[in-house]
Structure 1
Amino acid sequence: MADVTTIHPLDRDEEAFLRALGRVMTLLPRMVDADMLEEHPIAGTEYMVLVRLSEAPHNQMRMSDLATMCGLSLSGMTRVVNRLERQSLVLREKSPDDGRAWLAVLTSAGWTQLKQAWPTNLASVRRHIFSHLEGCDIAAAARVLERIAPC
Structure 2
Amino acid sequence: MVQKVLFVCLGNICRSPIAEAVFQHLVKEKGISDHWVVDSAAIGSWHVGKQPDTRARQILKNHNISYNGKARQIQTEDFNEFDYIFGMDDENISDLTSEAPKKYKAKILLLGDFDPEGDRIIRDPYYDSGSEGFEKCFQQCLRSSEAFLKENN
TM-score (norm 1): 0.28
Write 1 or 2 for the structure with the bigger share of helix.
Answer: 1
Write 1 or 2 for the structure with the bigger share of strand.
Answer: 2
Which structure's CA Rg is the greater one? 1
TM-score (norm 2): 0.28
